Amino acid sequence: MSTARGTMSTARRHFRRVPAQLAAGVTIAICLFPVYWMVATAFKPNRDIQSDSPQLLPRTWTLDHFRAAVDADGFGLFWRNSILVTLGAVLLSLVVALGASFAVARMRWRGRRQFMLMVFIAQMAPWEALIIPVYIISRDTGMLDRLPTLTLVYFMMTLPFTIVVLRGFIAAIPPELEEAAQVDGCTRPQAFRHIAFPLLAPGLMATSLFGCITAWNEFTYANFLIIKHQDSRTLPVWLSSFQNVFGTDWGATMAASTLFALPALAVFLLLQRHVTAGFAAGAVKG
């Protein structure tokens, strides 16, 4: 690529890039505007929100909407529920996936290929079509309105991806490294902790962040499995009903959306380093 560009004169290169830069600007604007508008509305006073000529930049700033959102009924409880369910599902799926991906990456056994095929199919599971039987099964087993049910469902949603990614990471660690450490006098757990674990850490990080986002955002199951016991609701369901509760208070709704989106956005920005690092690696290896 660089050689091809090198042959062009600098001036011509700049000229050629103008339409591209314009398109890039439009792309960025379309991507960012809804996010920006959410945050901007959340900080605007009500009279600026309900005005016939909305200002692109808030003239006066207020925290009233955030106060309204935080003071809403059960806000803290729903945060706690969301965090509990998310962490539970992610930890469970990490532990289970570590075992399975170790077996797939490092051992040879009958049915390994079939097992991976199953994992890939599970990854594509049509969860939207399974909501009816899961509802009926939960009802029959008395698991409706309970957070562990959601934890289990989210665990299964994130497990296949976790296995696929961790398998790649484990397969990339040469077993010789651990063997060498053991020859040098490490015990097997020590060898794992000092040699394999640091190499595995990015994989654990990436998969757990991904799992967190999936569980944090999940709406469908949280909506249909938690019905009577409102105290067990999670944030997405609360947010979807926020407008019903607050009516036309769009400032508070946007503040609630902002608060809900923040953890996911932060996690993704953390993850972005891994994603872009992956790009670089892909470019080199390709």
Closest C-alpha among 121, 196, 131, 130 to residue 159: 121
By CB under 8 A, residue 21 contacts another protein: yes
Residues 123-162 that bind another protein (CB under 8 A): 123-126, 128-137, 139-140, 152-153, 155-157, 159, 161
Instruction: Rule CB under 8 A: choose which of 119, 144, 212, 252 binds another protein.
Output: 119
What is the nearest approach in angstroms of another protein to the Cβ of residue 150? Answer: 12
**For residue 216, which amino acid is it?**
W
Span 236-255, contacts to another protein by CB under 8 A:
236, 239-240, 242-243, 250, 253-254
Show Cβ contacts of residue 177 under 8 Å, excluding neighbours closer than 6 positions.
Answer: 195, 196, 199
Nearer to another protein, 87 or 96 (CB): 96
Q: Contact between 62 and another protein (CB under 8 A)?
A: no
Q: How far is CA 214 from CA 220, 232, 264, in A?
A: 12, 18, 9
Nearest distance from residue 72's CB to another protein, in Å? 14
Distance (Å, whole) CA 212 – CA 155: 10
- Shortest CA distance to 210 belongs to which of 168, 152, 271, 150? 271
- With vertex at residue 209, the alpha carbon angle to CA 284 and CA 143, rounded to the nearest 5 degrees, is 145
Q: Which is nearer to another protein, 49 or 226 (CB)?
A: 49
32: contact with another protein by CB under 8 A? yes
Minimum Å distance from CB 23 to another protein?
5
3 state SS of 55: coil
Write the binding mask 189 to 228 for another protein: x where contact by CB under 8 A, - elsewhere: --------------x--x---x--xx-xx-xx--xx----
